[in-house]
A and B are shown apart, each in its own frame.
Chain A
Amino acid sequence: MRIARLLAVCWWFQLKQMTKAGLFVFTSIIEPLIFATLAYYLFKAGHRPGTLLYAALSAGLMGIWTSTLFGSGGAINFQRWQGVLEPLVASPPPYALILFPQTLAAASIGLYSLASTLVWGRVIFGIPLHFVHPVAFAISIVVTIVSLGVLGLVMGASFILYREANALSNMLEFPIWIVTGVIVPLSLLPGWIHPLSWILAPTWGYRAIHNAALGGNPWPGIGIALGLAAVYFVIGQAVVVAFERRARERATLSLV
């Protein structure tokens, strides 16, 4: 109960904190709109009008990944700049329980991306927002956000130890879009990429979202995404503990 409250309050606090960064929110809305517009014209040129909703959803999901990626790593560097990393580490909860609500908040900010691309698609291009399984659609979005937040925890851990870890963030944006099947369906990718896709929780989350919106069974995707998120959490927690200890040994917590 105590942990649930800690996670909920910290998530809300971090969400509030990130929302005050107007530019962060602005970019998480604008960039997906550009992708959505390009995707709309590409799909239209391909004479596949039935997949226009797929294009709008995919652009939104790309935005969710971007905000998770930069928000998760950026959160720790931001804490360094503001001098709050040390007080946070010196507080009693395990640091993983402090970091996870932040990465979850970063992923949640991505909802702006999804909402904006769907509204943009509806208003500008007249794409009908008809979801085949609306309840499953909402659940699959929540599960995807959680799985991304946990993935952010695993990645964010490296920022405790390495101040330059943002190079990692920059490197991971585009490959994950491709490998998780958000740009093109996985079936179009070479076979050797598939195992990599399968171990990424967002792959299953995105698949569940697409199935819930466009038709298909979303539940296997939801289940696998949740299972993988649980595995990531165990890994992320262990990595955070190890990296936090290493940072205390190497005296890197106070470095900006």
Chain B
Amino acid sequence: MAAIEAENLRRTYKQTSGFLRRRTKTIEAVRGIDFAVDEGELFGLLGPNGAGKTTTIKMLVTLLIPTSGTARVLGSDVVDDARTVRRKIGYVFGGDRGAYERLSGLDNLRYFSELYGVPPKVQKQRIPELLELVGLTGRERERVEGYSRGMRQRLHIARGLLHDPPVIVLDEPTIGLDPVGARELRHTIAELARAGKTVLLTTHYMYEADALCDRIAVIAKGEIVATGTPAHLKSAVADRTVIEIEAYGAPEDAIRRLRDAPGVTSVAVEDREHAQLLLVQAPQGSVLTQQLLGHLDGVRVGRVTAREPTLEDAYVSLVTEN
């Protein structure tokens, strides 16, 4: 039995505007997705902002009711059997909100232990263990309002593990963390998977998904555009080459010309401090550099290099080409 199953899962939002003439607009956040996560698997849901990751997660953790389709967690339906699902899932979300600020981290953990029905004797043992696991030992009696973003995030993780759930759902857990904090958190997530937990992780950091996940589903505009192991996804762009062009102030129409150029498969733009990095994907063996530079006529260009594609390029290709 799969730990998490989603079948044709769909969710729309209705937005109304206007006062006398009310207009309703329907936004399709998730457009009928299917995926399954095996027990003990660390599965990544990867996609850009607004792709539908959080909406999917909220349907799985019972906070949103799907517009259509079904989802089950360890065999329990997320709508019809929401309370059973809630007992089986530990839900951790990113950001610095989500705890009672005026109370201590310890008080927050005790309160949620009660909500999850953790017996007092077990609480006494488990809360110090979790504080140790997330590196908050010694700070647990301080008010949460004095915690750094990283500490709050670690508190969320501890809260999600209080009832020792078999399934853990992490929604962008490293968002806003400093590199050291994010690395420590990734280490903790890997430990959870090693301990046999089923982990569903959403992220838009490619290296995070690559480093942690057994399998990845790439989601874009509410649809899953690819599913597979990181190696499998990388192989989809193995026959391509990536030309990196450092440009200074390239206008939109120049980038559009690059996208339309013959032989170009996709173009992604990364904004750097004073420059843009244009990542042009093309079939391997293409000799395009001069042609590409011609499209950037009038734009100051720095370093130009060609390299083998990475998993990130596979992701960019999947997201932009779909």
Contacts and interface: CB of A to CB of B under 8 A. Distances in A.
Interface of A: 2, 5-6, 9-10, 13, 16-17, 20-21, 82-84, 86-94, 98, 245, 248-251, 253-254
Given A10-B111, A16-B107, A98-B115, A21 B63 contact: no
Nearest to A9: B114
B86 A90 contact: yes
B292 to A, nearest CB: 43
A65 B101 CA distance: 26
A16 B117 CA distance: 20
A13 B117 contact: no
Contact of B102 (A17, A92, A253): A17
Given A10-B111, A21-B102, A83-B95, A91 B116 contact: yes
B92 to A, nearest CB: 9
Nearest to B113: A9
Contacts of B100: 17, 82, 84
B107 A248 contact: no
Nearest to B87: A92
Nearest to A249: B65
Interface residues of B, number: 31
Contacts of B65: 245, 248-249
B219 to A, nearest CB: 18
A220 to B, nearest CB: 37
Q: 10 closest Cβ contacts across the A-B interface?
A: A83-B97, A91-B115, A83-B98, A20-B102, A92-B86, A9-B114, A248-B65, A13-B111, A92-B87, A249-B65
B114 A6 contact: yes
Contacts of A93: 115
Contacts, number: 76
21 contacts: A5-B114, A6-B117, A10-B115, A16-B103, A17-B103, A82-B98, A82-B101, A83-B97, A83-B99, A84-B97, A84-B99, A87-B98, A87-B112, A89-B63, A90-B61, A90-B63, A90-B86, A90-B91, A91-B86, A91-B116, A94-B83
B62 interface: yes
Contacts of A86: 63, 93, 98
B143 to A, nearest CB: 8
B231 interface: no
B205 interface: no
Contacts of A2: 117
B159 interface: yes
Contact of B114 (A10, A16, A250): A10
Interface string B61-77: 11111000000000000
Contacts of B93: 86
A248 to B, nearest CB: 5
Given A82-B101, A248-B64, 16 more contacts: A6-B114, A10-B115, A17-B102, A20-B103, A82-B97, A83-B97, A84-B97, A86-B63, A90-B61, A91-B86, A91-B115, A92-B115, A92-B117, A245-B65, A248-B63, A251-B64
